[in-house]
Chains A and B, each alone.
Chain A
Amino acid sequence: MINPKNAAWILILSILVGGCAPQKPKENKIVVWHWLNDRKDALNKLAVDYKAKTGTEVEFKLFSPADIYSQKVIAAARAGNLPDVFGILGEKRTLGSFVKAGHILDLTPYMQENSAEWKQRFYPKTLEVVTFNPGNTFNAKEGIYGAPIDTTVINFVYNKSLLKETGIDASNPPKTFDEFIDAAKKVKAKKNVSGFVCGWGEGWLLDCLATEWAINLMGEDKFFKTIKGDVPYTDKDWVEVFSYFSKMRDSGMLSPNITTMINKESEDSFSKNQAAFSFNGTWAVNVYKQLNPNLDYGFFPLPKISNNFPVKVWGGAGSSFMVNAHSPNKEEAVKFLKWLTEKEQQEFLVKETNNLPSIKGCDAALSPILKTLLESLTILTHPNTWPYNEDSRVIEVMDKGLQQIVMGLKTPEEVAKDIQEVKKRVLAK
């Protein structure tokens, strides 16, 4: 019979000894966590190819939906259980936090090897999303902290069939806001469908559109001054930007459920020929193909509201993989990411998943619809590449305000005032 006191000591000691167990031995296997449900099969196929070629096993573990995945990665980082390779979703602030906490390997030395051969492969705007420059506002150490595996562009989408049936030249999509409104109203009147559908229940699509119009109207310089706090949101240019949402509402072109609609619902509606226009990203190519392979549609850049400054559209790295700085397999993980971003693998992913590649030189593999999106790569902008980032509380008020403008409950002036009120409070801290 063991003395109870001894039993208690044995229990405590075994817990302590267990807690100090040596680190898991190095395995010849790379574990990758991802959220890319649509690419599950393609990534698994690439893992098989990689093992056949190098003998290194790669295990892709899918965690979906994206919200759950994000929480899992954050929890794993806190617990020190991150896999060898993983992706980070959300704002650049989050990536910065991971970098500051030392969870992510700086890939700069690997990117610079062999006359920067790896770095040179990528579209610069795509790589910028995972790069921290010296003196960045997130106080993250400068460096390149990820390998993008695709490129995303957010553009307007139009239903060619509906435009043709209305008598509008479908080869020449709207270039200005007035042309856009006019075309949407005509299609709605003739075909009895919505002029414009979008997942505006998800606020980010609203602030994406608002910031694109803001840059077009006031230029990047004034836009960034607003984020810095030097220009108020009550400035007449901002009020004008917000007024374009009330113009869209007043034209009657908007889908009636637009402010409670998530993007998946909007994609479903557009693919069923229930709307003339939408606003969506590159991923929509794959979604529309699955929902309606016969959908006749095209992409076009933001219809401009002004000739003051050039049009810029949101885009950059869509999905990127980061290497765990504490992984015993980090060298193998980097080798795998280098292989994954080679032309052959990128072309395979383009064909299988209909996404834009992250590297240059894959044009031959692109479908005509993806080629039109490629043209927007020269006019990309994205919050993750901006020198300053807006506080999430300000963005939240902007999103809600724009939703309320669309619902006819607030004026652009009222929304501008609400945003500025929160902005002032954030700046005061």
Chain B
Amino acid sequence: MNSNTNTFTDKFKNFSFVLPAFLIFSIFYIYPFIYTFILSFHRGDAISGLEYVGLANFKEVLFYDKDWWRSMYNAGFITFWALTFQNILAFCLALGVDRATRTGKIYRVVFFILPVLSEIIIGLLMREILISDPGILNQWLKNIGLGFIANNWLGNNKVLLTTALVHCWKGFGWAFVILLAGLQTIPEQLYEAARIDGANSWQTFRKVTLPLLTPVIAMVLVLTILGTMQAFAMILALTRGAGGLTEVPVMRIYNHLRGSQVGLACVEGVVLGIMLIVISFTMLEVSKRIRRKWGVLPS
């Protein structure tokens, strides 16, 4: 009897330690997550009631809503530029700064300023620079004799490319810092050993740096995909969607919520979430296979 009470008391005490965290997690994460699924089977607003419509919202989004797929394409396009241009730029800069022992800290601060700034601020700032009448960029191009390049950057069909480049400009600092941290974890002895063995710079990079940096690169790629596919605030401030040309999935979810289309917004949230989970796990699996192939991980 006594031992039972003690067991209960112990269990109660132990549980009481995790109870606050459990409650907070349940209320703010698990409940909204489940409720999003429930709402995705309903139509109507959140004020006067919801009507159960089964899979109708899923059918609408997946098979009929061209704008949803257009928004996925837009986000995919920006993600492609972020994965390639942004990350290659960040990688090159990280490699450069890794060797610059004296000025490295300054560069780290400089490159990390942009990601720290608010997305809205970046969007509005770039808007001021890019709007063509009387845009700062166009004026500057004219002043240096390159007026022929001046363009209506946000008002024609190049607006998506402009948006992608602004996103890369804002985001490369994150990738830079993570890649630099990864580079600095590679033991110096490995480079010394490679030099003693007569390896040139390219061979050292290919046989030492790249294999050991693969998990970091994989993480950067996954974070880039997750971050870019969910980009919203900067694009809203920069273009407001530009007639659907720069509308991204989260902007579409936001617009549906504002238009009292709660069910559609939830379906879009669920679909986007599932797609991102699948992409992330695929990327991590690919990374593992590459490392096994290169002998960094045991096969």
Give chain A's interface residues, CB within 8 Å of chain B: 4-5, 8, 67, 70, 74, 77-78, 90-91, 93-94, 96-98, 100-101, 103, 194, 201-202, 255-260, 262, 392-393, 396-397, 399-404, 406-409, 425, 429
Contact of B259 among A5, A101, A392, A425 (CB under 8 A): A392
Is B35 in the interface zone, CB < 8 Å from A?
no
Name B's interface SS: loop
Is B243 in the interface zone, CB < 8 Å from A?
yes
Q: Would you call A97 and B242 a contact (CB within 8 A)?
A: no
What residues of B have a CB within 8 angstroms of the CB of A103 in the complex? 47
Given contacts A67-B258, A94-B260, A260-B131, 8 further A-B contacts (CB under 8 A): A78-B47, A90-B260, A255-B133, A256-B131, A256-B132, A257-B132, A396-B259, A402-B243
CA distance A259 to B261 in the complex (A): 24
Most chain B CB atoms below 10 A, which of A67, A194, A259:
A259
Is B76 in the interface zone, CB < 8 Å from A?
no
Stretch at the interface among B79-87, B149-157, B198-206: B149-157
Q: Would you call A404 and B243 a contact (CB within 8 A)?
A: yes
Q: Which residue of A lies closest to B255 (CB)?
A: A396
Q: Which residue of A lies closest to B264 (CB)?
A: A393
Cross-chain pairs A/B with CB under 8 angstroms, 11 sampled: A67-B258, A93-B260, A97-B45, A100-B49, A101-B48, A257-B131, A257-B132, A257-B154, A262-B240, A396-B259, A409-B157
Q: Would you call B259 and A404 a contact (CB within 8 A)?
A: no
Category for how many chain B residues contact A? 35 or more
Q: Which residue of B lies closest to A7 (CB)?
A: B12
Q: Would you call B258 and A260 a contact (CB within 8 A)?
A: no
Name A's interface SS: helix
Q: Would you call A256 and B45 a contact (CB within 8 A)?
A: no
Q: Would you call A100 and B154 a contact (CB within 8 A)?
A: no
Is B184 in the interface zone, CB < 8 Å from A?
no
CA distance A260 to B56 in the complex (A): 33
Contact of A259 among B45, B242, B259 (CB under 8 A): B242
What residues of B have a CB within 8 angstroms of the CB of A98 in the complex? 47-48
What residues of B have a CB within 8 angstroms of the CB of A404 in the complex? 243-245
Please give the distance in Å from B257's CB to the nearest CB on chain A: 9
Please give the distance in Å from B86's CB to the nearest CB on chain A: 23
Q: Would you call B243 and A403 a contact (CB within 8 A)?
A: yes
What residues of A have a CB within 8 angstroms of the CB of B193 in the complex? none
